[in-house]
Amino acid sequence: MYPRPFEYARPDSVGDAIQALSGAAGEGRAIAGGQSLVPMMSLGLASPDLLVDVGRLPLAGAERAGGTLVLGALTRHRELERSGELGRHVPLAADAARYIGNPRVRNRGTLGGSLSHADPASELGAVALAHGGRVVIASGDGERSVAIRDFFHGYFVTAVRSGELLTRVELDLPPPGTGHGFSEISNRADDFATAAAAALVTIDDRGLCAAARLALAGVGDRAMRCERAEALCRGETLDDELLGRLNRTVVEAVAPEADAFVSAEYRARAAGICAARALGAAWRRAREERL
Amino acid sequence: MSAVEVKTRRRVVGSDLTRHDAVEKVQGRTAYAADFSLPGMLHARLKRSDYAHARLARVDTSAAEAIDGVVSVYTAADVPRNTVWVDVPGQTLEVGALKARSNVLADEVVRYHGEPIALVAAETEDAALAAVDAIAIDYEPLAVVDDAERALDPDAPRIHETGNMLAHWELEEGDVEAGLDAAEAMVESEYRTQFVDHAYLEPEAGVSWRDTDGVITIRAATQVVEHFRDVAKILDLPDNRVRLITPYVGGGFGGKEDMTVEPYLGIVVALTGRPVRMVWSRQESLMARQNRHAVRMRYRTGADAGGRLVAMDVDILSDGGAYALLSALVLLYSTTCAAGPYRCPNVRIRARTVYTNHTPCSAMRGFGGMQVALGYEGQMDLLAAELGIDPLELRRLNFVERGDTLPIGQPLETTVELPALVDAVTDRLGPLPEPSGRRRAVGRGFACNLQPYGRCVWLNDWSSAWIGFELDGTLVIRIAVPDIGGGQASSLIQIASETLGVPPERIAIHIGDSALNPLTGTTTATRQLYMSGNAVLEAARRLRERLAGVAAELLEVEPERIEFAAEGVRERDGSRSLDFKALLAACASVDVAWHVLATYRAPKGVPWQADETWRGRVFPDFTYGCHAADVEIDLDSGQARVLRYVAAHDVGQAINPQSVEGQIEGGVAMGLGYALSERLVFEEGQNLTGSFAQYLIPTAVEVPDITPVILESGEGKGPFNARGIGEPPIGPPAPAVAAAIHAATELRLTELPFTPERISAAIGAREEAADATS
Amino acid sequence: MIVGFTLNGSPQRCEVPAHWTLLRMLRDAAGRTDAKHGCGEGVCGACAVFVDGVAVNSCSVLAPQVEGAAVETVAGLGADGELHPLQTEMVARGGVQCGFCTPGMVISAVEAVRIGAAGSEEEIRHSLAGNLCRCTGYGKIVGAVAAYRDGEPE
Ligand SMILES: Cc1cc2nc3c(=O)[nH]c(=O)nc-3n(C[C@H](O)[C@H](O)[C@H](O)COP(=O)(O)OP(=O)(O)OC[C@H]3O[C@@H](n4cnc5c(N)ncnc54)[C@H](O)[C@@H]3O)c2cc1C
Ligand code: FES
Ligand code: FES
């Protein structure tokens, strides 16, 4: 019904935040937007001893640096969704962000929180994986950066260790001639994905697929790339026949678990459908961009 | 469409009057049950069972009691009389003297996940929460019965000493086997519905305090202020020492018909003498408040070559959950409505409801009359296909009419406008929309229904209302009716205004108080407008007659020529008039009271005798409807999207058309959630649907544009010939969607809800079969 | 701890434990019950309020997180007891039944129109997707939002 008591700290700097987290007696956690943590505490699914509010640290903002887009951990889902500027750089993220929860969850939820929370159904996890890049993590020993593909370790587990903070995400921007596609199947408008797929498809001079990235959410213990499907795309035209094959490839490649509401078979089926739709959309956009 | 004419022009009744409660609500000023606090109040919470069926070996509250701020922790032994009795009508002796009991707090055995075991009262909500966590319980698990069929096995574990049969109703009219043998076409199918939560937005809540004279006063979200009597019994107090007040309620739909927080509030006040508040979380509301019954139905339906029904065999098995509550009555509705709004000479109905270790089931919008719509309408569609007759034509051939009798013996006394309702719906549908893309298919389905309004006549239902003028010419209505959101109070204002001329904004209504207002009975069973509306109308008419007499003398005109208007009375087609103030002064001088207490009594009936040959009236009357849904199916993902929905009901006379539309639209939305996404999921009795993120009621995105169609036949048993409309719209959506899915895909789905997974599995299975044969 | 913020324009200082949510602080410390507890898990939207002009689910924000912020509930919307134009539409078009979802619904709808997320009926429906209503079937609410957006009072 309500969160149980905890200690609360609102430090002014990243350094102080890390110090507070490392010094926690018992379980210390960062709180950013609180859109996963507070409901979980209310449901009795989390009861930290210390919360370190990172919501006012200077970790917002986006900056383009060459082939990467640096996004502060406090970038809100709503900014990804609605900022035209970000939408131009990472339209895949803008597309995906629309599917996250409801408008108020998006108003407060943050990119850093979403990635750190590491719900396997998270849209932004799949988006980050499709782009590739690095996650920058601050700890008492300074900063380190982890490749996004090595970031997710399992259900709600990431490379962020206790006492550490995710400070920013560096997304690789795809080359010109790339189109994006995002597709999701869920049980209700504001519900978590049954399965979702994020795709980036790059077209070469001959109008064939030069490279494809396909990342899936909701079908395992973490967001995952599907390299078998990506390989099938290379050098090809993504026509209906191939999209059908890609769908079946994904269904075979994933091994989701069942829960009380959705069977493993249906999740896999949904992933295949989303993959084909996302790749198809990315392909069409890439071709439009070529023209 | 002869039926749509409005017979009389009226001033207030029949107009889209702005609901008087809406302005406060939209500003957030309405005080709901949880919005109250009292000085020095305690906070109460329940410790609920983690097991679906277990013996309580040890309940240790010592650690909880030691927590700072905890005032007391109560268990079964502390409750003055730890029993709630309910009457269980029905052809059954298995539950003892037609009564079944449940406990206020579990005693020795828990029978469902979430059953209350201990009650904590603390100075703060945080202390109460901590205390609940600190109560230590040793359970000895018992075998769980989580299937209604299994509950009937002779060797199934017994949930109550009396056995697992809760109630049954059985009847046969004519000769069903002979009828089916002779039928030209016979269709047979099984249908399944799921457990459903009311999911109103306001979780159960209330406050309580000891008032003047020691009267324990409870202000709680309830549909039934008469529960003050049940609380009194639990507290071992005379009935007149408990008072129940209900503020505006944030939705009911039957979920606040049985008691929720009331007994616990009463216990804390009685035992501590201090005021208290109890608010249930959404999660406990979902986990442990009673649900709508899951039902398994088997139908065999036969027709002659022309499409006329000749025989119907219906077998209904419903899962009543762990305690009796209202299951037997719910099943009576299923029994009454099982054959649908169709004539059939030979009908056999066997309906049973059993105990299991699921959350107890009880009242929910549609109250047993709605689940069977999936069955009887599914059968009509199957028969139509079998006979090659258009499904609507087949229905038209078989609709009941005024003067007919339902298989249980229920006479149909008012007009049955089903043909006009079908026309109204088809007129508004327009062409079938095109699919929005490849691998998508669109289909259209129809469904009709009947649903009783008013309570079962054996209950001798009545409702009272008091109306009186104030000296300044404003009007007061006093009536204990709970307003659960349907505009119950507002409609009563309209009725009084219509009769007495006083404009709605100059009428005050005091509702929902068992001590100070005349009792009206429950806001359930689509009965409030019908019953309380008639009571208010009766009171208003008598007051009018009385005042007209005084006015007639003063103005020296015939009483029949006295008209009531906004400011007072006047002579029809004449010039003489009198304002209310003057009229009341005149009344005072001749000792005529300007208030009236009136009681409306529903028609009566002879209660069912434990005898299969009993036939007779069960309900006052019915409301009929016809709905249509256009549904698009994504043939890959199995997702169903309702594109358009038309719902028509004959409401006799719409007191407030906007409120009627609101009831239709809300009922359809709830029916669509039932059809497509809602379900409580249990695993070995454990309720896994413990969060609002898992129990999927539709959002604005899933609910389509709904076109409500109001037909006014001018016949009904409510005030101004209105019929009830609260429950009727919930029945047709599921069968209409099923028919639309069939029209789009040729798949016959019979198990609710029609989730994407189920639709996709059915499509997959069919496509595989097609591949195998090609 | 003491949380200082403004509530519908007036300064507030509430003494609450850090683990209280904004919703709890509003209801049980500041005495403002127009934000409703419908689920406590961020799903239903009944608790929606503005924090620094941005709509949030107050059940999913901790009280200390609004230190120094401007909090506005539905009661703060209309000026001097007058209804906000959206509220007028909601009343006139029958968008209110039991009313429990209504305060949150109004907050969400006002934001949706303000940020341009209510252009079409479909957009309105998506903007309201996190505000559950069990009574109305949404149609009359969607109609009220569209009318408010178009500034054509009923
Ligand atoms: C109704 C509802 C629906 C939702 N639907 C979706 C959905 O469809 N898809 C989806 O992806 N999400 C969904 N969410 C979750 C939402 O996206 C969250 O916003 C997001 O997962 C977490 O972001 P946050 O900033 O709110 O993190 P918080 O809730 O503050 O924190 C989440 C976790 O991350 C940790 N954390 C946060 N920031 C950092 C940091 N900088 N460094 C290290 N650790 C950190 C916290 O300690 C905590 O463990 C939904 C939430 C709700 C309430
Ligand atoms: S109470 Fe906050 S979203 Fe439901
Ligand atoms: S009006 Fe009752 S929940 Fe919306």
For the domain that residue C44 is a member of, what is the CATH number? Answer: 3.10.20.30
Residue B526 in this model has a pLDDT that exceeds 90: no
Interchain CB contact of C45 with A (< 8 Å)? yes
To the nearest whole Å, the CA of B693 is away from the closest chain C CA by 6
Cα distance between residue A209 and residue B306, in whole Å = 62
Question: Sorting pLDDT into bands at 50, 70 and 90, what band is B174?
Answer: very high
| Contacts with C, A 165-194, CB within 8 Å | 189-190
pLDDT of residue B91: 43
A30 and A80 share a domain? no
Q: Is B135 among the domain residues?
A: no
Residue B578: give its domain's CATH number: 3.30.365.10
Interchain CB contact of C28 with B (< 8 Å)? yes
Cα distance between residue C42 and residue C28, in whole Å = 19
Q: If you ran DSSP here, which 8-state letter would residue B316 be given?
A: E
Q: Helix B327-337 and helix B371-387: axis angle, to 10°?
A: 20
B482 and B440 share a domain? no
**Mutation for C interface: A104, A105, A106, most C CBs within 10 A:** A104
For C66-75, what is the mean pLDDT? 97
The residue nearest atom 50 of ligand 1, judged by CA position, is: A101
Query: How many other C-beta atoms lie within 10 A of the C-beta of residue A257?
Result: 13
Residue B569 in this model has a pLDDT that exceeds 60: yes
Residue B460 in this model has a pLDDT that exceeds 70: yes
Strands B462-469 and A152-154: unpaired
C101: CA distance to ligand 3 center in Å? 5
Q: Is B251 among the domain residues?
A: yes
Domain range for C7: 2-76
**Which of these three, C76, C102, C135, is where a domain ends?**
C76
Question: Which chain B residues are Cβ-neighbours of A191 within 8 angstroms?
Answer: 693, 696
DSSP states of A46-110: ---SEEEE-TTSS---EEEETTEEEEETT-BHHHHHH-HHHHHH-HHHHHHHTTSS-HHHHHH-B
pLDDT of residue A93: 98
Residue A280: give its domain's CATH number: 3.30.390.50
A286 and A182 share a domain? yes
Instruction: Give me the residue from C24, C41, C48 closest to A43, CB to CB.
Output: C41
pLDDT of residue B5: 40
CA distances from A117 to A36, A151, B567, B603 (A): 8, 12, 66, 62
B582 and B622 share a domain? no
Q: Considering Cα of B508, then B511, then B515, then B521, what sign does the dihedral take?
A: positive
pTM of the predicted protein model: 0.96
Angle at B186 between CA B183 and CA B188, to 5 degrees: 150
**Which of these three, B601, B626, B655, is where a domain ends?**
B601
Cα distance between residue A135 and residue A124, in whole Å = 13
Backbone φ and ψ of B155, nearest 5°: -95, 10
The residue nearest atom 3 of ligand 2, judged by CA position, is: C42
Chain-chain contact of C24 with A35 (C-beta, under 8 angstroms):
no
A44 and A80 share a domain? no
Residue B485 in this model has a pLDDT that exceeds 90: no
Cα distance between residue B592 and residue B369, in whole Å = 47
What's the number of CA atoms in the CB half-sphere (13 Å) around residue B145? 27
**Which of these three, B243, B258, B288, is where a domain ends?**
B288
Query: How many other C-beta atoms lie within 10 A of the C-beta of residue B236?
Result: 11
For B732-753, what is the mean pLDDT? 97
B466 and B593 share a domain? yes
pLDDT of residue A286: 97
Q: Tell me the residue type at B21.
A: D
Per-residue pLDDT tens over the stretch B351-362: 999 999 999 999
Percent helix, strand, coil in chain C (nearest 5)? 40, 15, 45
Chain-chain contact of A187 with B683 (C-beta, under 8 angstroms):
no
Residue B99 in this model has a pLDDT that exceeds 80: no
pLDDT of residue B83: 87
Interchain CB contact of C67 with A (< 8 Å)? yes
Residue A18: give its domain's CATH number: 3.30.43.10
Q: Is A57 among the domain residues?
A: no
Cα distance between residue B354 and residue B529, in whole Å = 33
Cα distance between residue B631 and residue B715, in whole Å = 33
Pick from A40, A52, A79, A114 the residue to mutate for probing ligand 1's pocket: most ligand atoms within 8 Å of its CB: A114
Per-residue pLDDT tens over the stretch B683-724: 999 999 999 999 999 999 999 999 999 999 999 998 889 999
Q: If you ran DSSP here, which 8-state letter would residue A257 be given?
A: P
C6 and C72 share a domain? yes
B385 and B337 share a domain? yes
Instruction: Domain count for chain C, please give it.
Output: 2
pLDDT of residue B92: 42
To the nearest whole Å, the CA of A189 is away from the closest chain B CA by 6
**Mutation for C interface: B15, B19, B25, most C CBs within 10 A:** B25
For B749-774, what is the mean pLDDT? 91
Residue B7 in this model has a pLDDT that exceeds 50: no
Give the ligand 2 atom nearest the CA of C40. 1
Question: Which chain C residues are Cβ-neighbours of B487 within 8 angstroms?
Answer: 97
For B61-72, what is the mean pLDDT? 98
Give the ligand 2 atom nearest the CA of C57. 2
Pick from C43, C51, C61, C74 the residue to mutate for probing ligand 2's pocket: most ligand atoms within 8 Å of its CB: C43
Residue C154 in this model has a pLDDT that exceeds 60: no
Domain range for B525: 2-28+462-601
pLDDT of residue B217: 98
Q: Is B399 among the domain residues?
A: yes
Instruction: Give me the residue from B129, B636, B761 closest to A2, CB to CB.
Output: B129
Q: Is A42 among the domain residues?
A: yes
Backbone φ and ψ of C10, nearest 5°: -100, 140
Q: Is A216 among the domain residues?
A: yes
ipTM of the complex: 0.97
Interchain CB contact of A144 with B (< 8 Å)? no
Residue B90 in this model has a pLDDT that exceeds 60: no
pLDDT of residue C112: 97
For B138-158, what is the mean pLDDT? 97
**Across the strands, what pairs with A214?**
A199
| Contacts with C, B 14-73, CB within 8 Å | 16, 18-19, 21-32, 34-35, 37
For B80-105, what is the mean pLDDT? 67
A152 and A219 share a domain? no
**Which of these three, A172, A199, A224, is where a domain ends?**
A172
pLDDT of residue B97: 38
Q: Is A2 among the domain residues?
A: no
Instruction: Domain count for chain A, please give it.
Output: 3
Residue B6 in this model has a pLDDT that exceeds 70: no
B405 and B469 share a domain? no
A22: CA distance to ligand 1 center in Å? 21
Q: Minimum-distance ligand to the CA of B662?
A: 3
Any residues with Cβ below 6 Å from ligand 2, and which? Answer: C 37-40, 42-47, 57, 59
Per-residue pLDDT tens over the stretch B199-237: 999 999 999 999 988 999 999 999 999 999 999 999 999
B215 and B283 share a domain? yes
Strands B640-650 and B705-711: parallel
Domain range for A67: 62-172
Interchain CB contact of C61 with A (< 8 Å)? yes
| Contacts with B, A 248-277, CB within 8 Å | 260-263, 265-266, 269-270, 273
Interchain CB contact of B489 with C (< 8 Å)? no
CA distances from B238 to B80, B229, B234, B269, C74 (A): 13, 8, 10, 16, 43
C24 and C66 share a domain? yes
Any residues with Cβ below 6 Å from ligand 3, and which? Answer: B 201, 251, 485; C 96-102, 133-136
Percentage of chain B with pLDDT > 70? 96
Per-residue pLDDT tens over the stretch B587-643: 999 999 999 999 998 888 877 776 667 788 999 999 999 999 999 999 999 999 999
Question: Which chain B residues are Cβ-neighbours of A99 within 8 angstroms?
Answer: none
Minimum mean pLDDT range among A119-128, B313-322, B581-590, C144-153: C144-153
B625 and B688 share a domain? yes
C8 and C58 share a domain? yes
Interchain CB contact of A58 with C (< 8 Å)? no
Residue C131: give its domain's CATH number: 1.10.150.120
For B302-323, what is the mean pLDDT? 97
Mean pLDDT for chain B overall: 93
The residue nearest atom 2 of ligand 3, judged by CA position, is: C98
Question: Which chain B residues are Cβ-neighbours of C94 within 8 angstroms?
Answer: 16, 19, 658-659, 661-662
What's the number of CA atoms in the CB half-sphere (13 Å) around residue A96? 35
Chain-chain contact of C43 with A2 (C-beta, under 8 angstroms):
no
Instruction: Give me the residue from C61, C111, C130 closest to A101, CB to CB.
Output: C130
Of A114, A134, A129, the residue nearest A225 (C-alpha): A129
Chain-chain contact of B32 with C100 (C-beta, under 8 angstroms):
yes
Q: Helix B391-398 and helix B371-387: axis angle, to 10°?
A: 110
Q: If you ran DSSP here, which 8-state letter would residue B293 be given?
A: P
Question: What is the layout of strands, in order, in the sheet containing A224-225?
Answer: A178-186, A193-203, A209-217, A224-225
pLDDT of residue B311: 98
Chain-chain contact of B250 with C99 (C-beta, under 8 angstroms):
yes
Residue ranges of chain A whose pLDDT lies below 50: none
Contacts 24+ apart (CB under 8 A), A240-246: A243/A276, A243/A279, A243/A280, A244/A276, A246/A272, A246/A275, A246/A276, A246/A279
